[in-house]
Structure 1
Amino acid sequence: YLRFVFLTGITKFSQLSIFSELNNIKNISMDEPYAAICGITKEEMLEQMGGYIERFALSQEMSKEDTLLKLQEKYDGYHFTWPSPDVFNPFSLLNAFEDGKLNSYWFGSGTPTYLIEMLRKFHVLPSEVGHSMQAMAASFDAPTERMTTITPLLYQSGYVTIKDYDKYTELYTLDIPNREIRVGLMQSLLPNYLAYNTDMGLTTIGRMYGAIRLGDMDGALRLLQEFLSTVPYCDNTNYEGHYQQLFYIIFSLFGMYVDVEVRTPKGRVDVVMRTADTLYVIELKLGKDADAAMSQINLKNYPERFTLSGLPVVKVGISFDAEVHTLGDWLIEK
């Protein structure tokens, strides 16, 4: 005599996996009327949590407007259909109000061991998580027990969310929802690239961030060189892609824009990073000197691709020493 049953969880299973006779479920996961049923929208927060916002702004010594921008950057950005209101992660938002801090609450509530294992199983690189993935709804709103790609798990467990939809191709664009998820995920992937010396690595990355904020890329690279020379090298490091992914993770932990294999009219740039006032074009070489990396940047005129950014472009050519598994030398040109 059940009159109403509401099933919810982290991942979706086929109906026959739950009960053999449960054959008339209505799946509302991507229905527009229910798009904000399991989160907190900005409108709801402003209407019902005004006092919390004001207290949080005081604790952070920020204006209300800046506070809202910080909260959105950190915890907002979820969409479960398109169009959809922006939805905040309620667990993180409420904990932030309670503590008066912009901490990573949701990601800190558990270690995503299963996700890391699945990323390895499906050979997914850190730079491929999110990164404006395109897929049809059937590819990510699908039962996970028979998944053939990582996409359903990433979407249903909250590591990527819907960012756009093309009604003509019926393709959804998926990406990492906010800074809390991006930084937390990259911290979880970092041990694979630093031989599990993660604590020392995070300290080094924090110091690198301080140097780059001051425009001292040379100082940041010296810190990384010194750190990598003190840790045991990981397996499968004798190819440029390993170091490319390491840079992607490090720059993602800075909270800055970063991309790899960026297309230009004459080739692909290994790494592009943008700070508030500078755009870095970085070429990596394994077993070759920094002159070879810088020559490639100049020969293919990579900076021309980024002139419309309005930011000064700094060229960085980096050599990695294959024998000692750390940075060899580098050149930096404005």
Structure 2
Amino acid sequence: MEKRKLPVGIQTFSQIREEGYYYVDKTAHARRIADGAGKHYFLSRPRRFGKSLFVDTLKELYEGSEPLFRGLAVHDAWDWSKRHPVVRLSFAGGNFKRPAELHASVMRQLAASERRAGLPASDVPTPAGRFADLLEALHDRTGERVVVLVDEYDKPILDALEGPAPAGEGGETPAAANAQATANRDDLRGLYGTIKDCDAHVELTFITGVSRFSKVSLFSGLNNLTDLTLNPRYSAICGYTDADLDTVFAPELPGLERDEIRAWYNGYAWRGSENVYNPYAILHLFASREFEAHWFETATPRFLIDTLLRHGFAAPDLENVHADAALLSTFDVDAMPVEALLFQTGYLTIMDEERRDGRTLYRLAYPNREVRRGLNDSLLDALAPSWRSAGDAGALRRLLSVQDWTGVEALFRRLLAGIPHDWHRRNDIARYEGYWSSVFYAWFRASLDHLAVEDATSRSRLDMALRLEEDVYLFEFKVAERSEQGAALAQLKARRYADKYRAPGRTVHVIGVEVSAETRDITAFDVEPA
């Protein structure tokens, strides 16, 4: 198989097919949607995961661009004699943080659709009214019902929630940002409600975005919207499978360790039989030949980090999150569960599920090394901005391997010195053990791949367990002002955390660390063999 061009950043189906790029065939999913019992469909996937390319594939399919589909799964099963008019709305571009921007964007896109169809420009002043007129006119002119495609449907809301700048730096206040997000949501609700009102003129609706806003808040009109997000049959509708890498991208694999590719970029799961790779990260890996955080670095999740800190989520908690199906789909301007936010944005994925008392419960965790490192880096940037000057993972590993506890304590002190002097005075979270365990845990996680993630023991929860070769290191963190001196080590011993780690040839160390929330310094660093 010969090498082809890598479709880095290309979301146009015709360009990929006509200009010799690699293409992973997703058209079987398109046919399944077309043949399905539903009419209005919704799909949520993280950013840069191939949603826009799939939307463009649907556009070309329904417009009857037969030559583009030769050799693909859908070709011989499609009726190419029938062509549907397509209206595509995309909110991927633009910035929707200010009033009137959403209105202007919708009106521009509707006007462009009118021009392409040779229709006179509508003088209806509202987006919903103009949209309704367009759907009716296209149906009347062509005799075929209209296919409606909406890409990044939620971006106007998410843009507004992030706000143009942090409060106090010349930007909007959080309250103003929330108000703008609500206004954008209400405008979109009216626009999407038009689809139901014009149902007789619509052949198919396909809506994509990152988040899953509740149907009540945004799609109250489309109460028959079919959500494909967690449907196992569509788990690989976006992203690449192992088979895709081994066949379509086989020419790119020599020189790259297959297991390393899997550890870095695989692991995303939406209840299907196999996990998928992040396509953006894979394409950039093949282009650069370097294992880096290609996807994560395309956007700093400031809004996500702020939400985690505001809700007091400790970094270790992100390794083992539990949620039911209702919680994962509970998302609105005024109700954003952290679990749903992390899952929908791609920072956590489904590891397993179980049915209990009539409900489906999911266990979520990081999908892969890229996300784990990237998110912990970002957490550290917020918790201890100068953490990179504390020392690298190699130094920590060397010190632990020879049990140089004085050196380890000094390394910990340098990490804490990276916290601004006024940070703990402005943040009550620094007075809780969860903050300090997050600082150390995120630092370890951002640097080391062999940090064991432990669930609760029979005697409650351990803060952190680190495995390096045959040694195990158990950590407990305490705030000095909230406990007696020596309390951290005493808890490790009293609750016998080491018992579950004992094994022939293995050495277990217990380390109690006590930190002053006032001085940001270590007041006790106690180590014993268990």
What is the TM-score of this pair, normalised by structure 1? 0.82
**Cα separation, partners in 2 of 1:292 and 1:139, compared to 1, 3 Å:** closer
CA distance in 1, matches of 2:504, 2:440: 21
* AA matched with 1:137: A
Instruction: Return the letter of the residue paired with 1:172.
Output: Y
Shift of residue 88, structure 1, vs aligned partner: 0.7
Say which of 141, 147, 155 aligns to 2:343.
155
Equivalence for 2:411 = 223
Pair 97,10 (structure 1): closer, same or farther in 2 beyond 3 Å = same
SS at match of 1:88: coil
Find the counterpart in structure 1 of residue 492 from structure 2.
Answer: 297
Task: Pick the aligned partner of 2:262 from 60, 63, 72.
Answer: 72
What's the secondary structure of 2:398's corresponding residue? helix
1:181 aligned partner:
371
Verify: 1:31 aligned to 2:218, yes or no: no
What fraction of aligned residue pairs are identical, expressed as a percent?
A: 26
Separation in 1, partners of 2:263, 2:228:
27
**2:400/2:408 contact within 8 Å kept:** no
Q: 1:199: Cα distance to partner? A: 4.2
Alignment-mate amino acid for residue 372 of structure 2: R
Q: Please give the alpha-carbon distance, in whole angstroms, between the structure 1 residues aligned to 2:463 and 2:331.
A: 36
Q: 1:302 to 1:145 in 2, by over 3 A?
A: same
Deviations 1:8-60 (A, max 9, x none): 111123457667754543221112221101010111111222221113x2xxx
Pairwise CA RMSD of aligned residues?
3.0
Aligned to 1:61: none
Maintained 8 Å contact 1:229/1:324: no
Q: C-alpha separation between the residues in 1 aligned to 2:484 and 2:219?
A: 62
Number of the residue aligned with 2:515? 320
Matches within 5 A, 1:173-322: 173-194=363-384, 196-201=385-390, 204-212=391-399, 214-216=401-403, 218=405, 219-229=407-417, 231-233=419-421, 234-235=423-424, 236=428, 237-253=430-446, 254-259=448-453, 262-265=456-459, 268-287=461-480, 293-308=488-503, 311-321=506-516
Q: Verify the 8 A CA contact 2:213 2:329 in the aligned structure 1.
A: no
Q: Which residue of 2 aligns with 1:133?
A: 321
CA contact 1:283–1:318 (8 Å) conserved in 2: yes
Asked if structure 2 preserves the Cα contact closer than 8 Å seen for 1:262 and 1:270, the reply is no
Tell which deviates more after alignment, 141-150 or 182-191: 141-150
Taking the aligned partners of 2:477 and 2:310, their CA distance within structure 1 comes to 27
CA distance in structure 1 between the aligned counterparts of 2:402 and 2:206, rounded to whole angstroms: 53
In structure 2, distance between residues paired with 1:286 and 1:154: 28
Higher mean Cα deviation, 14-23 or 231-240?
A: 14-23
What SS does the corresponding residue of 2:207 show, helix, strand or coil?
coil
Q: In structure 1, what is the equivalent of residue 280 of structure 2?
A: 91
Name the counterpart of 2:240. 40
Q: 1:12 to 1:212 in 2, by over 3 A?
A: farther
Change (3 A) 1:20 1:240: closer
Question: Would the alpha carbon gap of residues 152 and 301 (structure 1) be closer, same or farther in structure 2, given more than 3 Å must change?
Answer: closer
Helix, strand or coil: the match of 2:519? Answer: coil
Moved more, 283-292 or 301-310: 283-292
Distance 1:52 1:215, change over 3 A: farther
Show structure 2 runs of 5+ residues with no match. Answer: 1-144, 147-202
* Counterpart residue number, 2:210: 10
Secondary structure of 1:190's counterpart equals: helix
Alpha-carbon distance in structure 2 between the residues aligned to 1:303 and 1:274: 13
Aligned residue in 1 for 2:301: 112
Q: Is the CA contact 1:134–1:172 (under 8 Å) kept in the aligned structure 2?
A: yes
With structure 2 as the length reference, what TM-score do the two structures score? 0.54
| Secondary structure in structure 1 of the residue aligned to 2:299 | coil
Cα distance in structure 2, aligned partners of 1:136 and 1:241: 24
